[in-house]
Amino acid sequence: MNATSPPTLELKAVSKSFGSVEALREVDFEVRDGEVMALVGDNGAGKSTLIKCVAGIYSIDDGQILFEGKPVTIHGPKDAARLGIEVVYQDLALCDNLDVVQNMYLGRELHDPVFRLREAPMEQRTADTLKSLSVTTIRSVRQPVATLSGGQRQSVAVARAVLWNNRVVFLDEPTAALGVAQTRQVLELVKRLAEQGIAVVLVSHNLVDVFQVATRITVLRLGRNVGVYEKDKTNEQEIVEAITFGAPAPEEAEVA
Amino acid sequence: MSSAAPAEIQAAAEDQDSVAAILRARWRAIKSGDVGSLPVIIGIVAIGLFFNSKSDIFFSAVNFQNLIQQMAAVSVIAIGVVFVLLIGEIDLSIGFASGLAGVAVAEFQLPGSSHQYAGLVALALAILTGVVVGLIQGSVIAFIGVPSFVVTLAGLLICQGLILKILGSQGVIGIQDQQINDIANYVLSKNTGWIVAIVFTVALAAAAFGSYFSRMRAGLPTGNILLTTIRVAFFGGLAFASVYVCNQAKPRPGVPLVGLIVLFLVVLAGYVAGRTTFGRHVYAVGGNAEAARRAGINVKLIRILVFMISGAMAAMGGVILASRLNGVDLNAGGGTLLLDSISAAVIGGVSLFGGRGRVSGALFGGLIIGMIANGIDLVGYTDAIKLITTGAILLAAVTLDTVLRRRQAAAGR
């Protein structure tokens, strides 16, 4: 992590409104290669809106998105994919009726000039990618996702991000619906993602999870960024206060 | 890295591809609700045995020929239904859209009118009619978001109205064009039939073994060579047996051309659905439209294209029916055609909930519907029995689909 180089992804004073509701108010946000940036906040804090703006589902009203220091515009999922930004959604990521390979390549299938699918290389690379992430619990990459457990599904969704050599991966509540063992599995996976040099953004309600894997923590409250904390220099108490009451006054923060 | 590694991988792959392992995997899949075409095959055998016990001529050569000609239109329309069901929508306009295409083909060959064209041109114009119907309906569904049930219900009424308006007071148009009448009525010469069977078997073998060896080269699980051979031999044998039986029929021995058309369309549509990016996206939209959209798939375009396919297939079915009757009348596209076609797709194992099923289901379902209609006519039961039986089988198919879907969902948790 080089602090002098520009962040991999940076948001500057980004605003987004839905009618009279301001979901994001001049939010600054950044994430760097190889770090896990946690994004926390109460319901309605703007986490999902921020993700959707970066993913190209929503367009931003105001502000700037910079990728490696250069301003970019993201108008749709394809723009985000081209930059190497991948969002792993909590529940909307996979097609249950398709198998693991088909899901990994969804929307970006390898094909020859007449749009005939090239199954063999897709299957090979899927197996290799799962192996590189030490995902060993999936019996066959040709089984439908419907037959996988929650943790396995999440692993497939995360592996999809790796397969495409993405630079920035957003994980939206990856552990929300999982049991203890599966949660540990997924958190391990999150760490391995960052170790591969990817900039990881972990959106979570669960501060225990956050403190296990995050390097920094960004707190959103009512559409504003109320502070960015180094994990090693803060504690759960401070984060909970920031989530519920907002940050200390700016002068205080500067003194600290 | 070590020299032992490839050998180990190979051993593992061989293990996975043994007959026992494949059967075990298949059995696991059946238990978790993925039964494939098993119920359909059981159904076809059961219905065949039943009518064979009731009628001496059910399994005769000439009746086999008949059956092919009777089931053709429904099977072709059902191909379109498969695509529509795969994206989780419904198309109620297919019945009268096919009728409208039948009227169109009759109009465009009408001798002495200002718009008389050669038979194949009239055919193309009729199919274009169906494509336009699909394009309009698909656009309203995709862009405005009106439920397909309502849009195609309106389409049904409009198409029926157009049929009545065009046919007017005379109420019937005869078809004299030889090319058009040949579509449903021509039978191939005996030798042409054999050539078709040979070409079909060779193509099947090339596809199956080509895929086997290319997967082997890539070091992927290949499936078992013995099972692959058995499968090719089975379907090849089926093709030769069909040609043999058709060639025994009297007074006009030979394979009906329309049977070949159905087979060609099923294979083509099956290829599009199973082997192309478009087909993959169709399944994705049916499985989880939101995930498909977020993966960058143009969901609206897929929806519109699927309704255009549905319209085209309905039109082809309508032309086959018009050709078979050598003309169209005010009943064109009416009766049980719509429900038979949707039933065929559903009985063929295509889920009403979207995303699951195969194009070949249209052929199997069409066969079951055709066998019931044909058998009941032979035995001399009434239409009442025909409707009740078809309804009961449809209900059974949908119930099975629902139960299996629940089972598959439960297997994942």
Q: Residue B287 and residue A98: Cβ atoms within 8 Å?
A: yes
Question: Has residue B1 been placed in a domain?
Answer: no
The pLDDT, as a whole number, for residue A254 is: 43
Report the residue count for chain B.
413
Best mean pLDDT range from A55-64, A105-114, B39-48, B258-267: B258-267
The pLDDT, as a whole number, for residue A142 is: 85
Contact partners, residue B118, CB within 8 Å, separation at least 6: B177, B179
Residue A58: both structure tokens together: 């929503």
Q: Model confidence over B342-400: pLDDT tens digits?
A: 999 998 889 888 888 999 999 999 999 999 989 988 888 888 888 888 888 888 888 88
Is there a single domain that holds both residue B115 and residue B240? Answer: no
Q: Look at chain B and report how many structural domains it folds into.
A: 2
Best residue in A75, A98, A116 for a mutation probing chain B (most B CBs within 10 Å): A98
Question: Has residue B29 been placed in a domain?
Answer: no
Q: Model confidence over B155-195: pLDDT tens digits?
A: 999 999 999 999 888 888 988 888 899 998 899 999 999 99
The pLDDT, as a whole number, for residue B138 is: 95
Considering only the beta carbons, identify the residue of A95, A124, A140 that sits closest to B284.
A95
- Of A95, A87, A103, A162, which Cα lies nearest the Cα of A130? A162
- End of a domain among B255, B281, B297? B255
Q: Residue B412 and residue A109: Cβ atoms within 8 Å?
A: no
The pLDDT, as a whole number, for residue B149 is: 93
Question: Has residue B261 been placed in a domain?
Answer: no
ipTM of the prediction: 0.82
A75 touches chain B (CB under 8 A): no
Is there a single domain that holds both residue B161 and residue B200? Answer: no
Contact partners, residue B319, CB within 8 Å, separation at least 6: B101, B102, B105, B123, B126, B127, B180, B183
Mean pLDDT value across residues B20-36: 75
The pLDDT, as a whole number, for residue A248 is: 63
The pLDDT, as a whole number, for residue B136 is: 96
Q: Model confidence over A148-184: pLDDT tens digits?
A: 888 888 888 888 888 887 889 999 888 887 888 888 8
Which of the four pLDDT bands, split at 50, 70 and 90, describes residue A92?
low
Provide the residue range defining the domain that includes B136: 36-186+273-412
Question: Has residue B5 been placed in a domain?
Answer: no
Is there a single domain that holds both residue B191 and residue B165? Answer: no
The CB-side HSE value for B204 (13 A sphere, CA atoms) comes to 21
Distance between first and last Cα of chain B: 37
Is there a single domain that holds both residue B63 and residue B144? Answer: yes
Question: Has residue B360 been placed in a domain?
Answer: yes
Residues B153, B132: Cα–Cα separation, whole Å = 16
Q: What is the CATH number of the domain that holds B53?
A: 1.10.3470
Q: Which residues pair with B57 in a beta bridge?
A: none
Is there a single domain that holds both residue B49 and residue B142? Answer: yes
**Quick one: residue B76, left, alpha or beta (phi over 0 = left, psi -120 to 50 = alpha)?**
alpha
Is there a single domain that holds both residue B92 and residue B136? Answer: yes
Domain borders along chain A are 9-255
pTM to 2 decimal places: 0.86
Q: Roughly what angle, to the nearest 10 degrees, separates helices B337-347 and B94-108?
A: 120
pLDDT greater than 60 at residue B308: yes
Asked which of A1-10, A69-78, B59-68, B110-119 is least confident by mean pLDDT, the reply is A1-10
- Assigned CATH for A9-255: 3.40.50.300
B281's enclosing H/E stretch is helix B277-287
Question: Has residue B236 been placed in a domain?
Answer: yes
Q: Residue B296 and residue A81: Cβ atoms within 8 Å?
A: yes
Angle at A133 between CA A131 and CA A136, to 5 degrees: 50
Which of the four pLDDT bands, split at 50, 70 and 90, describes residue B240?
very high
Under an 8 Å CB criterion, which residues of B touch A?
25, 32, 34, 214-215, 217-221, 275-278, 280-281, 283-284, 286-288, 290-297, 354-356, 408-409, 411-413
